Structure 1
């Protein structure tokens, strides 16, 4: 993942090592020692900064979310239709590189800790709210610009986000991904029927 390619501090080097180790081993088989194997400096330095693997993984997730927030905090999109397509493609892993695919599988393992771990539950609650809010902003902007139908932004965003979340779970827990193309096509059909105005009706 691009944000880990050029770490700017020891902390970022540790987070990058945690990301690589998580992708390679998954959550269940991940240990601080394995994270240390991905870290060019002493594993004792990892323990100096973080109490354990959950503390470190949560810090890694927060770092990734904050970077995504900064990268996408550009205000309302100038082209809501293109923005919606980009969100759907990104979250349905269209053309995703192998390390991102591995991370998605590991991410579902981390999400599985949420029912019994408040720290993970709090993180995923905020993460879900963030991504749904981004989709809601796209819908609101499209309605305001007159390029989307008069849809309810919150309900529409909730529907799309739920479909995308379900696709993540299925992708991570079944063999094969031939079904992804069908889901993408049906989601495109949903957005066309629910949001997009016909070309002759658009301003």
Structure 2
């Protein structure tokens, strides 16, 4: 089908925006079609169901936060790790626009809401659980890769890269979840403070 990849991407972007507005439980194919500006029947030419579409949309997370990171050389591990943490806690419009042509205006809130909605649905759905596990494994591997590079360049102490990566990702996930689901507006700032303490602890210069 001509233009299939481009149309699929537009549908994913519309689903992203619709999910932010409606939440998983209330989201319908019609809502996505309205956001897309097309008859909802078009979506079924590309995706069999809402869940298949949202599962494919999780690849957007991978592109936003990972991209080609694993292939990039690391010269300053601490700077790279701070950049990675910053991208997750405070994603910038330009960062998202690199993989989405029409992201929501408040991209930080949008990504946090989509994260909470899809990860919560993984509680009940094995397919979603498998996909969110793969996304988290990719994030963990990326963080461990940065930490390992820092150890090799003697910027970091010889800590366990995988365990430290797990620690950081648990913090990031909890901060996003808490800020999105409670009135703790300072949750992400508190996570950043703890991350700074971890970086100070593993730094050779501390």
Superposition deviation, residue 192 in structure 1: 0.6
Alignment match, 1:57: 54
Q: Is the 8 A contact 1:104 1:168 kept in 2?
A: yes
Match of 2:97 in 1: none
Specify whether residues 89 and 69 from structure 1 end up closer, same or farther in structure 2 by C-alpha distance, changes over 3 A only: closer
Q: Distance in 1 between matches of 2:9 and 2:149?
A: 35
Cα RMSD of the aligned pairs, angstroms, is 2.2
Contact 1:147 1:197 in 2 (8 A): yes
- Are residue 14 (structure 1) and residue 22 (structure 2) matched? no
Q: Is the 8 A contact 2:11 2:43 kept in 1?
A: yes
Shift of residue 63, structure 1, vs aligned partner: 4.1
Q: CA deviation at 1:91?
A: 2.1
Corresponding pairs, count? 192
Shift of 1:176: 4.1
Flag the 1:103–1:183 CA change in 2: closer, same or farther, 3 A: closer
Q: In 2, Cα distance between the equivalents of 1:179 and 1:170?
A: 6
1:1-203 correspondence runs (5 A) = 9-66=6-63, 68-93=65-90, 98-193=106-201, 195-198=202-205
Question: Deviation digits for residues 62-118 of structure 1, max 9, x if unmatched?
Answer: 244246443423334221010111122222237676133123123212111112211
| TM-score w.r.t. length of structure 1 | 0.85
Q: CA 1:95/1:45 → structure 2, altered by over 3 Å: closer, same or farther?
A: closer
Q: Write the distance in 1 (CA, Å) between the matches of 2:61 and 2:38.
A: 22
State TM-score, norm by structure 2.
0.84
Compare 20-29 and 120-129 and name the one that shifted more: 20-29
C-alpha change, 1:142 and 1:87, in structure 2 (3 Å) is same
5+ residue gaps in structure 1?
1-6
